[in-house]
Amino acid sequence: MKAKLASRVLSGDTIAAAKLISGIADEAPGAFEEMSHIYPHTGKAYIVGVTGSPGAGKSTLTSNLIGHFRKELMTIGVIAIDPTSAFTGGALLGDRIRMQQHGEDKDVFIRSLATRGLQGGLAKATIETIHIMDAMGKDIILVETVGSGQIEIDITRVADTTLFVMTPEAGDAIQMMKAGILEATDIFVINKADRGNADIIQTDLQTMLSMRHWLPDEWQPSIIFTEAIYDKGTAELALEISRHREHLTVTGEMQKRKKLRLRLELMETVEGLIKDSIAGIDHGKYLDKLIDELLKGKINPQAAAQQLVKRLASDLGRVNNNP
Amino acid sequence: MKAKLASRVLSGDTIAAAKLISGIADEAPGAFEEMSHIYPHTGKAYIVGVTGSPGAGKSTLTSNLIGHFRKELMTIGVIAIDPTSAFTGGALLGDRIRMQQHGEDKDVFIRSLATRGLQGGLAKATIETIHIMDAMGKDIILVETVGSGQIEIDITRVADTTLFVMTPEAGDAIQMMKAGILEATDIFVINKADRGNADIIQTDLQTMLSMRHWLPDEWQPSIIFTEAIYDKGTAELALEISRHREHLTVTGEMQKRKKLRLRLELMETVEGLIKDSIAGIDHGKYLDKLIDELLKGKINPQAAAQQLVKRLASDLGRVNNNP
């Protein structure tokens, strides 16, 4: 990778952006050097996370939001996260075909991130892809996942506004509580609201939300009804996203979320550096030896960890002193 | 915590074991010292992970397995993992009431681990609880989760045999593929097999399994039918677990899994030590200052991470040299 991708990304070149995103995911040499030219041009985009149960209509809803924001002349980035398995490969991407209606629009840039095969963590890869789209000049970045559980919660840690899309079918509400999604959601979207039980799930949600004590300045999650397949409710949802954005700005919460995101990115980068350093001690033999001693009961995990950190510090210190 | 819990745990004292498990989860002072007396007495228990969709009947199945293994005079530990949210607290534990029939049996020791509020990671807390039950002399340790997605996959990393429990209802199969469960499962359990679609889901599963190339010595996941509510299929399932255990022993895979578990535990312990060290630099002010500089664009995340690791190495090195 030559050190000129970044300048092409900054001029909005989608081919260069796609290359850099792949480079980051693969930890290609030079990719981090490129990123150092990207960072100074970030911090302007607004990030919307689209989470929810499989089959709830997240892709259709995302496509509707793209259409709406484009009418407002905003430029859009979309990151589609696929927790695909080795068995199914990228087959789930078929779902995303609906978004292809925007594929010809040069102001809509859509990339998929597969969770398998990522060298670093998912959160880190997502944040770096956000940086690249941000530096391209995208106004809004939609991060959509087909996953559930932990992945959803990770997404909420990188988004400014997090949507949770659900259908009126029973079971969703309980699933949600289990995964801790309730605390992590800014706007609940009840999609397929033409179905019978929309009011029941609304009542369930309101009951659960009322069980929590809300601080005066705190955002209380709102509930929006949509019928994504008919593009109904899209304008209301977009307005609610604006209302939440306004709230974050006025209360200073936006700055706090940015800081949390930076802390997460920093800690994940540190973790990556340290894992690499550990794997590199005596070309991995040191770690293997420690694990063998653990297996034989010659040392306990706490003592082994302390020994490893000590060795790590000594090795890193040596590198620091011999530049 | 006095340094005498460990010896009581070794004599099978459940109150001491419960205290030590809480101590570990809270990172109570002295808990790690106690653990150093526990480690030498571990490595004998067999660990079975029970994962699967919510409502599939995991608790009932676990209860049946306890009954079966008790008839074979084995002693049992059960770790129930609850990804409870701050909203619902421990309410989901109600599900576990079925297991209470074994509550009076002194050879069955059941503990819950909530994912919220754990200071360290879930995998680490689970492994340490396994160590404690192992040192108590439990022959079999069942690790059951009501979670989905990432938590399930973490469980498979600590278990010798992993079950995935599902019902014949549609949707399960697709969910599973998404979460990457297929690769992580040793035995699929189709519960509520009296329902209509059991053969359909069996065919779906077999098709998916046949899409993968299996090495000659590799365990190919098997499929067992149960009706947990009538205790049907329990003996077949227990036999299949034995068959898998035998396979792991004969092929040397058991040793490999033990090593992977130790590596996971070691790396999570190292991660905890390093996070504590980072948080401790200048009483946290150093990290705050770096994040402020990131926010102002004065430094980029990669450079900040390198600076942080350098400082960490220098601090740790100083500690090492001044014992």
Map tokens 């859509």 to a residue.
A110
Q: Give the domain CATH number at A152.
A: 3.40.50.300
Contact state of A301 with B269 under an 8 Å Cβ cutoff: yes
Contact state of B266 with A310 under an 8 Å Cβ cutoff: no
Same domain assignment for residues B187 and B211? yes
Contact state of A316 with B320 under an 8 Å Cβ cutoff: no
Residue B260 lies in a domain: no
- Model confidence pLDDT, tens digit, residues B243-279: 999 999 999 999 998 998 899 889 888 988 898 899 8
Same domain assignment for residues A72 and A37? no
Instruction: Please state, in angstroms and rounded to a whole number, the distance separating the CA atoms of residues B157 and B96.
Output: 23
Q: Which two tokens stand for residue B307?
A: 């600076």
Residue B258 lies in a domain: no
Residue B115 lies in a domain: yes
pLDDT of residue A315: 85
Interface test with A, best of B156, B291, B311 (most A CBs within 10 A): B291
Same domain assignment for residues A90 and A198? yes
Least CB–CB distance from A85: residue in B150, B177, B308: B177
pLDDT of residue A83: 58
The residue count for chain A:
323
pLDDT of residue A4: 84
DSSP string, B126-190: HHHHHHHHHHTT-SEEEEEE---THHHHHHHHH-SEEEEEE-SSTTHHHHHHHHT-GGG-SEEEE
Region of B160 (left: φ > 0; alpha: ψ -120 to 50; beta: rest) is alpha
Same domain assignment for residues A230 and A88? yes
Least CB–CB distance from A317: residue in B171, B263, B313: B313
Burial of residue B318 (CB within 10 Å: 0-12, 13-18, 19+) is: exposed
**B95 band by pLDDT with thresholds 50, 70 and 90:** very low
Nearest CA among A135, A145, A71, A54 for reference residue A105: A71
Q: If contacts are CB pairs under 8 Å, which of residues 256-315 in chain A contact chain B? A: 258-259, 262-263, 265-267, 269-275, 277-278, 287, 290-291, 294-295, 297, 300-306, 308-310, 312-314
Residue B256 lies in a domain: no
Taking contacts as CB-CB distances below 8 angstroms, the residues of chain B near A134 are: none
Average confidence score pLDDT of chain B:
83
Contact state of B309 with A151 under an 8 Å Cβ cutoff: no
Least CB–CB distance from B180: residue in A85, A263, A267: A85
Same domain assignment for residues B70 and B215? yes
pLDDT per residue rounded down to tens, chain A (323 residues): 455 899 999 999 999 999 999 888 777 888 888 999 999 999 999 999 998 877 788 889 999 999 999 999 999 999 988 655 434 333 344 445 556 667 678 889 988 877 655 545 677 788 999 999 999 999 999 998 765 555 555 677 789 999 999 888 755 555 555 556 777 889 999 998 888 788 888 888 888 888 878 888 899 999 999 999 999 999 999 999 999 999 999 999 999 989 988 998 898 889 888 988 998 888 889 999 999 999 888 899 989 999 999 999 888 877 655 54
Contact status of B170 with chain A (Cβ, < 8 Å): no
Instruction: Please state, in angstroms and rounded to a whole number, the distance separating the CA atoms of residues B185 and B175.
Output: 14
Contact state of A85 with B182 under an 8 Å Cβ cutoff: yes
A89-103, A170-184, B145-159, B280-294: which range is least confident on average?
A: A89-103
Residue A104 lies in a domain: yes
Same domain assignment for residues A292 and A315? yes
Cα→Cα distances B173→A27, B57, B148, B167, B192, Å: 33, 16, 14, 10, 15
pLDDT of residue A92: 43
**In chain B, what's the furthest Cα-to-Cα distance?**
70
Same domain assignment for residues B71 and B215? yes
pLDDT of residue A124: 79
Q: Between the CA atoms of A97, A79, A164 and B184, what dihedral angle is there, to the nearest 10 degrees?
A: 90
Contact state of A39 with B301 under an 8 Å Cβ cutoff: yes
Identify the domain containing residue A32 by its residue range: 1-41
For residues A123 and A158, the answer to whether their CB atoms sit within 8 Å is yes
Contact status of B3 with chain A (Cβ, < 8 Å): no
Contact state of A270 with B302 under an 8 Å Cβ cutoff: no
Residue A259 lies in a domain: no
Nearest CA among B109, B68, B74, B122 for reference residue B238: B68
Contact state of B302 with A269 under an 8 Å Cβ cutoff: yes
Count of C-beta atoms within a 10 Å radius of residue A199: 12
Q: How many domains does chain B have?
A: 3
Q: What is the 3-state secondary structure (H, E, C) of B198-231?
A: HHHHHHHHHHHHHCCCCCCCCCCCEEEECEHHHC
Taking contacts as CB-CB distances below 8 angstroms, the residues of chain B near A35 are: 300, 302
Least CB–CB distance from A309: residue in B150, B212, B270: B270
Q: Distance, in angstroms, between A121 CA and closest chain B CA?
A: 13
3-class secondary-structure state, position A310? helix
- Rounded to 10 deg, the angle between the A150-158 and A172-179 helix axes is 70
Same domain assignment for residues B206 and B71? yes
Taking contacts as CB-CB distances below 8 angstroms, the residues of chain B near A32 are: 302
Same domain assignment for residues A78 and A226? yes
Nearest CA among B138, B144, B141, B129 for reference residue B59: B144
Taking contacts as CB-CB distances below 8 angstroms, the residues of chain B near A263 are: 287, 291
Residue B261 lies in a domain: no
Contact state of B36 with A300 under an 8 Å Cβ cutoff: yes
Contact state of A178 with B147 under an 8 Å Cβ cutoff: yes
Residue B257 lies in a domain: no
Least CB–CB distance from B150: residue in A36, A149, A265: A149
Least CB–CB distance from B291: residue in A87, A263, A270: A263
Interface test with B, best of A207, A266, A276, A289 (most B CBs within 10 A): A266
Phi, psi dihedrals of residue A114, rounded to the nearest 5°: -90, 140
pLDDT at residue B285 greater than cutoff 50: yes
CA atoms within 13 A of residue A221's CA, in its CB half-sphere: 26
Instruction: Please state, in angstroms and rounded to a whole number, the distance separating the CA atoms of residues A172 and B150.
Output: 18
Q: Distance, in angstroms, between B276 CA and closest chain A CA?
A: 12
Phi, psi dihedrals of residue B31, rounded to the nearest 5°: -65, -40
Nearest CA among A186, A191, A188 for reference residue A231: A191
pLDDT at residue B87 greater than cutoff 50: no
pLDDT of residue B28: 83
Contact status of B148 with chain A (Cβ, < 8 Å): yes
Strand partners, B113: B81
Same domain assignment for residues B180 and B284? no
Same domain assignment for residues A127 and A246? yes
CB contacts < 8 A (A, B): 211
pLDDT of residue B92: 43
For residues A317 and B317, the answer to whether their CB atoms sit within 8 Å is yes
Nearest C-alpha in B relative to A122: B150
Q: Distance, in angstroms, between B302 CA and closest chain A CA?
A: 7
Map tokens 């490129």 to a residue.
A34
End of a domain among A219, A251, A283? A251
Q: Distance, in angstroms, between A295 CA and closest chain B CA?
A: 7
- Model confidence pLDDT, tens digit, residues A140-169: 999 987 655 555 556 777 899 999 998 887
End of a domain among B251, B275, B301? B251
pLDDT of residue A210: 84
pLDDT of residue A90: 39
- Percentage of chain B surpassing pLDDT 70? 82
pLDDT of residue B90: 39
**B176 band by pLDDT with thresholds 50, 70 and 90:** low
Taking contacts as CB-CB distances below 8 angstroms, the residues of chain A near B304 are: 266, 269
Q: Distance, in angstroms, between A144 CA and closest chain B CA?
A: 15
pLDDT at residue B97 greater than cutoff 70: no
Same domain assignment for residues B30 and B175? no
**Residue/partner pairs of A238-242 with CB below 8 Å, 24 or more apart:** A238/A65, A238/A68, A238/A69, A240/A187, A241/A48, A241/A161, A241/A163, A241/A187
Contact state of A305 with B83 under an 8 Å Cβ cutoff: no
Contact state of B150 with A146 under an 8 Å Cβ cutoff: no
Contact status of B147 with chain A (Cβ, < 8 Å): yes
- Model confidence pLDDT, tens digit, residues B24-43: 877 788 888 899 999 999 99
pLDDT at residue B147 greater than cutoff 90: no
Instruction: Please state, in angstroms and rounded to a whole number, the distance separating the CA atoms of residues A128 and B291.
Output: 16
pLDDT at residue B104 greater than cutoff 60: yes
Q: Distance, in angstroms, between B286 CA and closest chain A CA?
A: 12
Burial of residue A205 (CB within 10 Å: 0-12, 13-18, 19+) is: buried
Nearest CA among A214, A228, A262 for reference residue A98: A228
Nearest C-alpha in B relative to A40: B297
